[in-house]
Amino acid sequence: MTSVVVIDYGSQYTRLITRRLRELHVYSVIVPPSVTLERIRALDARAVVLSGGPGSVYATDAPGLPQGLLGSGLPVLAICYGMQLLALELGGEVRPSPTREYGKAVLSHYEGILFDGIEGEFVAWMSHGDSVERLPAGFATVASTADTPVAAMEDPRRRLHGLQFHPEVRHTPKGVALLERFLDEAGIARDWTSEHIIDQAVDDVRTRVGDERVLLGISGGVDSSSLGLLLHRAIGQRLVAVFVDTGLLRLGEAEEVERALRGLGLDLVVVDASERFLRALAGLIDPEAKRKAIGKAFIEVFAEQARVLQDVHGDIRFLAQGTLYPDVIESAGADGAATIKSHHNVGGLPDDLAFELIEPFRNLFKDEVREVAESLGMPKHLRERHPFPGPGLAIRCLGEVTHERLEVLRRGDDVFMSSLREFGLYEETWQALAVLTPLQSVGVMGDGRTYANTVALRAVTSVDGMTADWARLPHDFLATVSNRIVNTVPEVNRVVYDITSKPPGTIEWE
């Protein structure tokens, strides 16, 4: 698969660059500044993007360019810090800007290859303290703003382009057109589609698995369910799919998932382990402790079932997981990434159950998995469900997890979800959830005094979950939902709405 390699210099927008390129049906992958030219070529790169970054190119520890990149003939698009680095490496000069630019700016003029065909006012999103003061030999200035004389530069002969602003963000409305022109100039095919992804994944699985069987643990979410459909297409009945009902799913969700997947041809083994998971969670309050306890219990249940299935089918060599690209990044699977949370995958199985791991979705974002699910025939009401954490409602039930508290949370969550659908707001939000807090407060219901629970509602808009903004749901809608929850869930007498973005918060409360 040909690719565009994005070198990450620390910008908060690096992953957004990758998403924008994939939206244009081009496979892109993030690599660290330490990447070698040999590694870039091994990724079958047809172009390279240098991301922005928070540092200065003159800092003593400033990351540089891979040796030999600029002489490789690969087209390069350098953004913000990347443009300054490109200029410095080729003999130009970078200086602190007399006037720093942060936020909206308007190009006073623009021309050149990347701007070809663009007309009208060009609004650009700036975020820089340094600027290119003197161009390297062979470059021309192709865009300026009132405060930045060199807002864009290019060397057409070497197919090198620099943008001081960020074309990947929504605040640069015509920025995607620049990315399209760069891809066109680089001659990159737009073949990163759901059908192509499926065909490649199916071929890869068949080649690797051969005539062996594959074991898959299905949690009930979109990722593992979609993976089940993909593997079923690839190897048919040699897929051994186990659906472990942890008792931590939403109201009626376990039954809905089982019915839908069986209807699509999967031969599911269903294990009801809800009481076991509740025992594992008894007394736990810390969210990371909950995640680890759930992971441990899942491994134990899964291992027991795997042994049973191996007695039936013989040795099962492979284990499949629905790991996604954000999982890899957040679990420190990428260079320089910090561990934000533990992810709910089937790792740490006993030595006598040593499997070879298969992760066909490892390089996909959530919305790409949904596109794959659509192509595989998953019904819309299942594939368009909001993301749901592997540990389920346990991390939305703050404080101790008990059967009674889970039931309160399920009913409150069901009111919120059903109301979002009723008002046509479900598909306008990327993720929505209810949280049962450990807070109790005084209320008045009828003529009586109550002392009951507080439920927090959260809804966000996002592209891939790496960043998110709180959803501006109508006040009338929130008032309706609050009334419905309080009136139908007697254990709750107060409802609040979370208006925190990510960052600084996470989407889940935990």
Domain boundaries, the chain: 3-186, 194-383, 402-497
- Looking up tokens 């409802």 gives 495
Residue 453 corresponds to which tokens in the numbers above?
């629970």
The count of C-alpha atoms lying within 13 angstroms of the C-alpha of 137, restricted to the half-sphere facing its C-beta, is 1
Distance, first Cα to last Cα, the chain? 38
Q: What is the pLDDT of residues 204-237, one digit of tens each?
A: 999 999 999 999 988 777 888 899 999 999 999 9
Q: Is 80 a catalytic residue?
A: yes
Q: Is 166 a catalytic residue?
A: yes
Of 62, 31, 34, 61, residue with least CA distance to 49: 31
**Residue 17 pLDDT > 50:** yes
Backbone φ, ψ for residue 353 (5° rounding): -120, 50
**Residue 342 pLDDT > 80:** no
The predicted pLDDT at position 205 comes to: 96
The count of C-alpha atoms lying within 13 angstroms of the C-alpha of 8, restricted to the half-sphere facing its C-beta, is 19
* Range in 78-92, 173-187, 352-366, 465-479 with the lowest mean pLDDT: 352-366
Cα 454 to Cα 69: distance, rounded to the nearest angstrom: 57
Q: Which of 166, 232, 344, 386 is catalytic?
A: 166
All residues at 6 or more sequence positions from 21 whose CB lies less than 8 Å from its CB, including other chains? 4, 6, 27, 28, 49, 179, 183
DSSP-based three-state secondary structure for 121: coil
CATH topology identical between 3-186 and 194-383:
yes
Is residue 349 very low, low, confident or very high in pLDDT (cuts 50, 70, 90)?
Answer: low
Rounded to the nearest integer, the mean pLDDT of the chain is 89
Q: What is the pLDDT of residues 413-445, one digit of tens each?
A: 999 999 999 999 999 999 999 999 999 899 887
CATH of the domain spanning 194-383, picked from 3.40.50.620, 3.20.20.70, 3.30.565.10, 3.40.50.720:
3.40.50.620
The predicted pLDDT at position 336 comes to: 34
Name residue 37's amino acid.
L
- In our burial notation (b when 16+ CB lie closer than 10 A, e otherwise), range 416-447 reads bbebbeeeebbeebbbbbbbbbeeeeeeeeee
Q: Which of 53-62, 79-88, 101-110, 319-328 has the highest mean pLDDT?
A: 79-88
| 367-387 average pLDDT score | 88
Cβ count within 10 A of residue 415: 26
The CATH architecture to which 3-186 belongs is 3-Layer(aba) Sandwich (3.40)
Residue 459 falls in which region: left (phi positive, over 0), alpha (psi -120 to 50) or beta: beta
Residue 204 corresponds to which tokens in the numbers above?
């890869």
All residues at 6 or more sequence positions from 464 whose CB lies less than 8 Å from its CB, including other chains? 15, 19, 326, 365, 366, 367
The dihedral through the CA atoms of 385, 386, 388, 394 has a sign that is: negative
402-497: CATH topology is GMP Synthetase; Chain A, domain 3 (3.30.300)
Q: Which of 101, 154, 168, 491 is catalytic?
A: 168
